[in-house]
Structure 1
Amino acid sequence: MSCKSLIADDHPLFRVALRQAVSACFDGDIAESADLHQTLEQLQQDDTIELVFLDVNMPGNDGLYGLSQIRLKHPDVLVVMVSAIEQPVMIQKALQLGAVGFIPKSSSLDVIQHAIDTILDGQSWVPEHLHSQFDQVVDSEQSAFAKNIEQLTPQQLVVLKMMANGLLNKQIAYELGIKETTIKQHGSAILKKLGLNNRTQAGVLFKQLMNQ
């Protein structure tokens, strides 16, 4: 099987280990990036990339924000989250936002290869020992919010992140180099798509969903 992949991680040694595992699973070029900005640039420049291994704590990622950015801009790209920290709640959130799996950095090469094979067969993959730790009751409000996030444009997601961080419309406009009236229009569109009444509620839900 041939598949071009991108390993997005700021730790060179882990990139080497993951490259070894990926190479054993399929033929194809393997690109690398060390932060979210580089990752998004490579995806923008190369539309042949089909699979991304995304480090949760990579610079610029800010929790699950990077995952949301990739899913909005490149919906056909498969995203596998990787992390040294195994948090069931975070993994559940990542799956809600469209990740196809989670691979702990502590996994052996055999386990990583099995995970990749499973994902390429069209199934999601999470370590067996974490299944029992998943919350049985999923927050319905948060699940609906994660689903509605998919309706936002990449620019609207950026605006929502800034709103959640407490920036005023004029501050967001200054940071993005656009008119304040445009930010107000984005804000109205965001609330409508999310089915919410105010930006405070949107900000709280956004932070709950994105933070680990």
Structure 2
Amino acid sequence: MNDPAKRPQDSALASALVVDDHPLFCDALTLTLQSISDFAEIRTAGTLEKALEVMEDDPRIGLIVLDLNLPDVNGLDGLVRLRTAAPHAAILIASSMADNRMISHALKAGADGFVPKHSQRSVFRRALEAVGGGQAFVPDGYIDPRGDEAENGPGDALGRLASLTNQQARILALICEGKLNKQIAFDLSIAETTVKAHVTAIMRKLGVHSRTQAVLIAQEARFAKVLPTAE
């Protein structure tokens, strides 16, 4: 959970961002926010890359409503990257994948709250009030399953991935594609020595000693959404 003291305190002056690749859901979420809040502007994005561009363009954004199923991300990668790019914004997940384990992983990866997509407007209102006050929000009936996970399970992997910078997350994604430092340097238009420095920092943050181990941790997060539920 981020420090609420570091977030925009006046929601009337802040913007919100809805990230969903389905136009109808995006419109519905936007209308819901307009009816229960007083954001100066509510912007939308249909992909993670577009969302990241919007975040760079508008530093006033204090709330992100994010769907986990986007065309350019796998699993919780999008949440991890947005959390890194927007450390002071509240991130509220609005997803149909609302089982206990998925909610737990999302909170561990940096989400401030989780609302099942089929929820009534009143639930979104309560979620906004909670995250606006610096408290995590989970739906009624949620049971935290993390006590049953191994210490170094997917939740731990997500926590470590969330510490990566946006550039480090991009480099790790390219490493997962099997690309060498020279290829990564070309793709990102940076020096190979810079890539090497980032790779060293990535492995230190993830607590691993090889690129293969780093890839395995990334895969834990990527496939977290297909883990069996506790029910």
The answer to whether TM tops 0.5 is yes
Secondary structure, in 3 states, of the residue corresponding to 1:141? coil
From 154, 157, 161, give the equivalent of 1:149.
Answer: 161
What is the deviation of 1:195?
1.7
SS at match of 1:136: helix
Shift of 1:144: 4.2
Residue matched to 1:21: 32
Q: 1:49 maps to what in 2?
A: 61
Moved more, 148-157 or 186-195: 148-157
Q: Distance in 2 between matches of 1:174 and 1:54?
A: 31
Q: Residue 63 in 1 paired to residue 82 in 2? A: no
Quote how far apart the aligned CAs of 1:57 are: 0.7
Structure 2 residue corresponding to 1:174, chosen from 172, 186, 189: 186
Listed as ranges, the matches of 1:110-129 within 5 Å are 110-129=122-141
Q: Secondary structure at the match of 2:118?
A: coil
Q: Tell me, in whole angstroms, the C-alpha distance in 2 between the residues paired with 1:177 and 1:76.
A: 28
Matches of 2:117 and 2:81, distance apart in 1: 23
- State the partner residue of 2:148: 137
User: Could you tell which deviates more after superposition, 144-153 or 37-46?
Assistant: 144-153
Match among 11, 15, 22 for residue 22 of structure 2: 11
State the SS of the aligned residue for 2:62.
Answer: strand
Q: CA deviation at 1:203?
A: 0.7
CA contact (8 A) 2:75 2:222 kept: yes
1:151–1:134 distance in 2 versus 1, CA, 3 Å = closer
Question: Is 1:183 aligned to 2:195, yes or no?
Answer: yes
Please state if 1:83 is matched with 2:95: yes
Kindly state the Cα deviation for residue 20 of structure 1 after the two structures are TM-superposed: 2.4
1: distance between equivalents of 2:193 and 2:177?
19
Distance, in Å, in 2 between the alignment partners of 1:151 and 1:119 is 21
Unaligned runs of 5+ in 2: 1-10, 226-231
Instruction: Indicate the RMSD between aligned Cα atoms, in angstroms.
Output: 2.0
Q: Which moved more, 1:177-186 or 1:151-160?
A: 177-186
Q: How many residues are treated as equivalent by the alignment?
A: 211
Match of 2:105 in 1: 93
Identity within the alignment, %:
35
1:4-59 per-residue CA deviation (whole Å, 9 max, x = no partner) reads 21111111211222122212222122111111111111110111110000110122
Structure 1 residue 63 displacement after superposition: 2.0
Match of 1:47, SS state, is: coil
**Letter of the aligned partner of 1:22 in structure 2?**
L
Q: Is the 8 A contact 2:157 2:220 kept in 1?
A: no
Structure 1 residue ranges without an equivalent (≥5):
none
Greater Cα offset, 34-43 or 168-177: 168-177
Deviation at 1:110, TM superposition (A): 2.2
TM (norm. structure 2) is 0.82
Give distance in 2, aligned partners of 1:108 and 1:154. Answer: 34
